[in-house]
Amino acid sequence: MNLTHYLYQKFPASSLIYIINFIKPMNLIVYLFIFFSLVSCSKNPSADTTDAQKISDVSYGADARQKMDIYLPADRNSSVTPLVILIHGGGWSGGDKQDFSLFIIELQTRLPGYAIANINYRLASNGNNLFPTQENDIKTAVEFLLNKSVEYKISKQLALIGASAGAHLSLLQAYKHNTNSSIKAVVSLFGPTELVSLYNSPANPSIPLLLAGVIGGTPASHATIYQQSSPYNFVSAQSCPTLLFHGGNDPLVPASQSTQLKDKLAANGVVNQYIFYPSEGHGWTGANLTDTFDKIETFLKQQVP
């Protein structure tokens, strides 16, 4: 391409008189240097953009429920930008990623340099999609995101945050499937941790019916799947740091589900923190919710900086 022709394409005529008169006396080497410098600077900037971006309903599987929303921060980098994965609750048979909409806004404000993935998964219903369907979906989604780290310009250092059934799935993924040690931290908001005791000592008579419905039977008839679906059973000295929240008046998941996990984490020397709100139920608002966000922010900055 002729340099003068290139300049006429890229600059207004008012600027060209000075530019062209300036380069005419110059020797060939300097002429070529300016030409190739201008060409290289004119490349499509979108190829290397790191603007903030939201990508909605990204499929990680063939089912309509196997989708996620991905929030990518500005100035991200595959070496230093950690990922937070959110997993909604709903008794493994309900709920949606949209349940975390306000949570995402809070995290983006407090942790602006973190990427966020908000995941849907297949739900148990009428004898379909029984355990371990949900566990397998979360495992597939995490693997999908790790494989996309270069494309999304995010690191392979991640944390999981879940509420209720989503907390159970977060803990299960963190303790059972963290074979490459990418999961550096997990946060449980009033999640079930040991399903046999949850069945046998429920806070609500509906819980055994719920568990039997999503698992396909009782602990007596389906002992293996109850054992394999309980995060408590996969705690080891290599488990990642864990932050647990629970309310003392939870009508669905008793606080003992968190305290027994806390005790086993401590026995194995795993970094953990247990936050107990005596008067709260299955979720909370107000000052305690602010306190929850404060503690999550501090925990993630320490464990997944």
Q: What is the pLDDT of residues 268-284, one digit of tens each?
A: 999 999 999 999 999 99
Using an 8 Å Cβ cutoff, are 165 and 86 in contact? no
Degrees, nearest 5: CA angle 133-177-229: 45
Using an 8 Å Cβ cutoff, are 186 and 174 in contact? yes
Contacts 24+ apart (CB under 8 A), 293-296: 293/106, 293/110, 295/243, 295/245, 296/107, 296/161, 296/187, 296/243
Q: Look at residue 41 in the predicted model and tell me its pLDDT.
A: 39
DSSP β-bridge partners for residue 87: 119, 162
Length of the chain: 305
- Distance, in Å, from the CA atom of 245 to the CA atom of 186, rounded to the nearest integer, reads 11
Question: How many CA atoms within 13 Å lie on the side-chain side of 14?
Answer: 0
Residue 50 confidence class, pLDDT cut points 50, 70, 90: confident
Q: Which of 5-14, 22-31, 77-86 has the highest mean pLDDT?
A: 77-86
pLDDT in tens, 290-304: 999 999 999 999 999
- Distance, in Å, from the CA atom of 33 to the CA atom of 31, rounded to the nearest integer, reads 5
Task: Name the pairing type of β-strands 158-163 and 183-189.
Answer: parallel
Report the predicted TM-score, pTM, of the whole model to 2 decimal places.
0.84
- Distance, in Å, from the CA atom of 298 to the CA atom of 108, rounded to the nearest integer, reads 14
Reading the block at residue 131, the tokens are 């355990």
Name the residue with higher pLDDT: 286 or 49. Answer: 286
pLDDT in tens, 229-266: 999 999 999 999 999 999 999 999 999 999 999 999 99
DSSP β-bridge partners for residue 59: 67
Residue that the structure tokens 């059934």 belong to:
165
Using an 8 Å Cβ cutoff, are 269 and 236 in contact? no
Task: Using a pLDDT cut of 90, give the percent of the chain over it.
Answer: 84
Mean pLDDT of the chain: 88
